[in-house]
């Protein structure tokens, strides 16, 4: 079955070649940046760069929108599909309904729960895919495509996908931002961030092995208010970071003191 990609960013960079190595053939890539589309086409077997969103004569059956969340509506408004085309988006946060702007009769969500960077290889077999569609036939087609690249494929409701995406933001984006703050503190105090890496690795591994509640340690977990006050005093030169520390610490204290 032929597939076309709209978008050539981090997700498309990995997903298009993964599908191209299965029974699915990626034959077209459209991107607002033609050079990026050309680079992605170079990773595929027999794909061409598409210069517009008019796919009305395309030989593809499945059209995957892999762009930033805020660009999905714009793409949906401009794209033209063949009569039997299936239009999918890959967002964890955008509702299925954003695709109704396209007029496509068959629509779905094809959401891989992972963070993607072009320079970092990923193994799709271990990445969970979450499928959503209001049409049973479309759902079966999308499920089959997901199972061609992953061992972990699930159907999901709109509310469940929203909750999952929020949980993912806490688990990934917020965790990474905490590491960035940690790096800033070490840099500003002429310390080596490398010293923290064994601790970071052990913390993540322990949280994945045990339940996160069981893995929690630290002064807030112990309710050591004296140490918390010392830390807040140290951080007073940056009120924003001090407030982040205070709010998170208080949440931990409240969680484990009850």
CATH architecture of structural domain 160-257: Orthogonal Bundle (1.10)
End-to-end Cα spacing for the chain:
56
Average pLDDT, the chain: 96
Q: What local confidence, expressed as pLDDT, does residue 210 receive?
A: 94
Q: Is 218 left (phi over 0), alpha (psi -120 to 50) or beta?
A: left
Query: Strand 153-155 vs strand 25-30: parallel, antiparallel, or unpaired?
Result: unpaired
Q: What local confidence, expressed as pLDDT, does residue 68 receive?
A: 93
Record the pTM: 0.89
pLDDT in tens, 201-210: 999 999 999 9
Q: What local confidence, expressed as pLDDT, does residue 206 receive?
A: 96
Task: Quote the percentage of the chain above a pLDDT of 70.
Answer: 100
Q: How far apart are CA 117 and CA 7, in angstroms?
A: 14
pLDDT at 258 over 80: no
CATH classification (class only), 2-156: alpha beta
Q: Do domains 2-156 and 160-257 have the same CATH topology?
A: no
Query: What's the mean pLDDT in 137-163?
Result: 96
Q: Which residue has the tokens 């890539």?
A: 29
Q: Taking the domains of the chain in order of start, what are their residue ranges?
A: 2-156, 160-257
Q: What local confidence, expressed as pLDDT, does residue 103 receive?
A: 85
């Amino acid at each position: 079955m032929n597939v076309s990609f709209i978008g050539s960013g981090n997700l498309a960079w990995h997903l298009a070649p993964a599908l191209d190595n299965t029974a699915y053939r990626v034959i077209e890539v459209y991107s607002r940046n033609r050079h990026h589309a050309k680079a992605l086409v170079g990773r595929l077997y027999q794909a061409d760069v598409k210069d517009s969103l008019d796919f009305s004569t395309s030989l593809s059956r499945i059209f995957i929108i892999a762009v930033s969340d805020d660009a999905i509506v714009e793409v949906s408004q401009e794209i033209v599909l063949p009569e039997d085309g299936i239009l999918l988006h890959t967002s964890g946060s955008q509702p299925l309904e954003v695709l109704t702007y396209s007029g496509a009769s068959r629509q779905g969500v094809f959401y891989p729960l992972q963070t993607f960077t072009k320079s970092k290889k990923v193994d799709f077999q271990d990445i969970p895919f979450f499928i959503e569609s209001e049409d049973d036939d479309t759902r079966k087609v999308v499920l089959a495509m997901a199972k061609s690249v992953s061992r972990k494929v699930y159907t999901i409701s709109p509310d469940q996908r929203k909750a999952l995406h929020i949980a993912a933001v806490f688990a990934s984006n917020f965790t990474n931002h905490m590491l960035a703050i940690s790096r800033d503190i070490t840099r500003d105090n002429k310390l080596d961030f490398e010293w923290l890496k064994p601790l970071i690795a052990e913390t993540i591994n322990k949280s994945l092995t045990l339940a996160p509640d069981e893995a929690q340690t630290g002064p807030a977990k112990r309710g050591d208010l004296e140490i918390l006050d010392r830390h807040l005093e140290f951080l007073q030169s940056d009120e924003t970071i001090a407030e982040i520390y205070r709010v998170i610490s208080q949440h931990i204290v409240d969680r484990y003191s009850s």
